[in-house]
């Protein structure tokens, strides 16, 4: 296992760095290290990767998000993997479930002139950082409607946390954002116990919450969100729908604000 550190460094440098971030000679040398090591140490590579993801399950979502970004057009600003207009038909066909579902969390202005929908997972490292972007949008965009969709794709702990979160929304939507912030901001993997602790901290009725966790509403919410994400081609977190576009990855508050502005201008010009 003596090659584990340089090999892991090489792999994640290739995956997480955009093409422009590494000089061509460095990228070529790094690719050669990876190819040679894969060819000569296949079992060792499997052990390295398996051990890493057992210890860092949140990395799966981060890597998926980054891979989707780097497959986007090189001209896409701020590293955002966006599909401008490509999914507009799917968005129109699912508009009610996307923007006005009885199963969703709605923040900001419920009658906002633009709606931003975010698909997230409580075990996604990028989602943990992107909560600051959501809060910035809520602060700086008073006419924005923000919709949150549970998309628990990073293992059983994610599903457990989502079930608690949906029960929290069912009980008291006004307390949901504080719960959401605490759970996303807590260190380590999210699971049922950590989510229950966050709900208790925010003053939820725990007897009712634990009963609601097993309700049909929880199952219906997760099923609807999974169906929507699949239809939109969202397979990692966070994923956004803004106006007529799907935006993949934690692109940052400035890029999201630019998308909101564009959606607002597009809607205005269509009137």
pLDDT of residue 76: 36
**According to DSSP H, which parts of the chain are helical?**
4-16, 24-40, 42-55, 58-70, 88-93, 95-99, 125-140, 156-171, 173-185, 192-201, 206-212, 216-232, 253-269
Retrieve residue 167's tokens: 């029960």
Q: Per-residue pLDDT averaged across 215-238, rounded? A: 95
Residue 59's pLDDT is: 58
**What single-letter DSSP state applies at residue 241?**
E
119 contacts 235 by C-beta, under 8 angstroms: no
**DSSP letters of 138-188?**
HHH-TTEEEEEEE---S-HHHHHHHHHHHHHHHH-HHHHHHHHHHHHHSSS
At 255-271, the pLDDT tens digits run 999 999 999 998 765 54
Average confidence score pLDDT of the chain: 81
Lowest-confidence pick of 18-27, 178-187, 195-204: 18-27
Q: Are 185 and 153 in contact (CB under 8 A)?
A: no
- Strands 105-108, 114-120: pairing kind: unpaired
pLDDT band of residue 101 (cuts 50, 70, 90) is very high
Which pLDDT does position 46 carry in this prediction? Answer: 66
Q: How large is the average pLDDT for residues 181-192?
A: 95
Residue 267 confidence (pLDDT): 77
Q: What is the Cα–Cα distance from 67 to 71, expressed in whole angstroms?
A: 6
pLDDT category at 41 given cuts 50, 70, 90 is low
Domain parsing of the chain, residue ranges: 4-55, 77-269
CATH code for residues 77-269: 3.40.30.10
Residue 115, strand partner residues: 145
Q: What is the DSSP letter of 2?
A: T
- Residues with Cβ within 8 Å of residue 48, at least 6 apart in sequence: 1, 4, 7, 8
Predicted pLDDT of residue 75: 35
Average pLDDT, stretch 202-221? 96
Predicted TM-score (pTM) above 0.75:
no
Q: With 60 as the cut, is the pLDDT of residue 74 above it?
A: no
């Amino acid at each position: 296992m003596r090659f584990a550190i340089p090999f892991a460094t090489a792999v994640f440098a290739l995956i997480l760095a955009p093409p422009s971030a590494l000089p061509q000679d460095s990228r070529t040398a790094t690719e050669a290290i990876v190819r040679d090591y894969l060819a000569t140490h296949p079992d060792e590579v499997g052990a390295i990767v398996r051990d890493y993801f057992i210890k860092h399950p949140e990395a799966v979502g981060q890597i998926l998000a980054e891979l989707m970004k780097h497959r986007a057009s090189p001209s896409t600003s701020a590293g955002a993997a966006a599909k401008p207009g490509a999914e507009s038909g799917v968005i129109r066909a699912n508009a009610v479930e996307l923007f006005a579902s009885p199963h969703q969390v709605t923040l900001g202005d419920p009658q906002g002139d633009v709606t931003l929908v975010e698909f997230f997972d409580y075990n996604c490292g990028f989602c943990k950082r992107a909560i600051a972007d959501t809060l910035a949008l809520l602060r700086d965009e008073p006419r924005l409607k923000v919709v949150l969709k549970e998309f628990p794709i990073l293992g059983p702990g994610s599903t457990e946390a989502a079930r608690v979160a949906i029960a929290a929304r069912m009980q008291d939507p006004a307390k949901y954002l504080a719960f959401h912030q605490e759970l996303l901001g807590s260190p380590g993997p999210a699971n049922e116990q950590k989510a229950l602790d966050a709900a208790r901290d925010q003053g939820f009725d725990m007897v009712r919450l634990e009963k609601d966790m097993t309700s049909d509403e929880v199952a219906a919410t997760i099923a609807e969100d999974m169906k929507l994400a699949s239809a939109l081609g969202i397979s990692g977190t966070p994923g956004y729908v803004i106006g007529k576009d799907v935006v993949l990855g934690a692109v940052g508050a400035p890029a999201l604000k630019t998308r909101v502005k564009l959606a607002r201008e597009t809607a205005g010009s269509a009137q």
